[in-house]
């Protein structure tokens, strides 16, 4: 049975993202120390804590949730990632305008996020950025939805592809962002932004699967 995603899912997603950013804060800091300035874990942890705070009173729609996240990330997360994720969440909010999201709605939402990142950062795949997680995630989501997968399975496919995409950044030479200053020395390290993207999409799938689980008998 396919279950469309609703506002409760969106709130659970963002709470999950906050927990994931807190849990992986040091790992993201360490990855960013290797090829950047070491602030990515701190930035993302602060941003999603702020987003959860802003959403404490609840929200009326998926769009409201994603818009609140976008505004908070823009305001609280510095560096490259704040505006990039902020734009992604703003575009996803616009794409997720209805009461709920079906499988193709999820695909459209993720595609809008990727478009926002690329409009802002001008990176394409293979440049060792978060685009290398988002782009395969979007492709996998579309393939899953076209094959009849329900929204939770579409998100799970996206998350798995993002995780593989993040791992696949290790041998890449960075040609965008701070890591590009390192030239050849950027090779051999996993991109922090691609890594945070994989975690964020994984908890989107977790929240959808929890949303889908049969209600416990009272």
Choose from ligand ADP, Mg ion, none: what does 123 bind? Cβ within 5-8 Å by kind.
ligand ADP
Total residues found in the chain within this entry: 218
**Site residue total, Mg ion (CB under 5 A):** 5
> Cα dist. 61→2, 114, 119 in Å?
20, 21, 25
- Single residue of 11, 13, 32, 193 touching Mg ion by CB under 5 A: 32
Residue number, 127 or 150, with CB nearest to ligand ADP: 127
Rule CB under 5 A: is residue 36 a binding residue for Mg ion?
A: yes
CB of 43 to ligand ADP, least distance (A): 4
Residues that bind ligand ADP (CB under 6 A): 32, 36-37, 39-40, 43, 79-81, 84, 117, 121-123, 129-131, 176-178, 191-194
Choose from Mg ion, ligand ADP, none: what does 130 bind? Cβ within 5-8 Å by kind.
ligand ADP
Phi, psi of 2 (to 5 degrees): -90, 140
- Sort 49 into a burial class: Cβ within 10 Å, 0-12 / 13-18 / 19+: middle
CB of 41 to ligand ADP, least distance (A): 9
Q: CB within 8 A of 113, min separation 6: which ones?
A: 88, 89, 91, 92, 95, 134
Angstrom distance (rounded) from CA 160 to CA 143: 13
């Amino acid at each position: 049975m396919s279950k469309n995603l609703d506002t409760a899912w969106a709130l659970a997603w963002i709470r999950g993202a906050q927990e994931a950013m807190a849990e992986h804060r040091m790992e993201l800091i360490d990855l960013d120390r290797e090829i950047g300035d070491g602030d990515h874990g701190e930035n993302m942890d602060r941003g999603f804590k702020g987003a959860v705070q802003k959403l404490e009173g609840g929200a009326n729609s998926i769009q409201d949730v994603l818009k609140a996240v976008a505004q908070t990330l823009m305001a609280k997360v510095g560096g490259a990632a704040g505006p990039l994720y902020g734009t992604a969440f703003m575009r996803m909010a616009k794409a997720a305008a209805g009461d709920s999201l079906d499988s193709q709605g999820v695909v459209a939402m993720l595609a809008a996020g990727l478009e926002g990142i690329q409009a802002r950062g001008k990176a394409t795949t293979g440049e060792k950025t978060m685009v290398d997680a988002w782009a395969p995630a979007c492709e996998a989501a579309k393939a899953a939805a076209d094959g009849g997968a329900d929204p939770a399975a579409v998100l799970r496919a996206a998350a798995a592809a993002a995780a593989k995409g993040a791992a696949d950044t290790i041998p890449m030479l960075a040609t965008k962002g701070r890591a590009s200053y390192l030239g050849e020395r950027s090779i051999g390290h996993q991109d922090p932004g691609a890594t945070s993207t994989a975690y964020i999409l994984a908890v989107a799938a977790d929240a959808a699967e929890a949303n889908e689980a049969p209600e416990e008998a009272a």
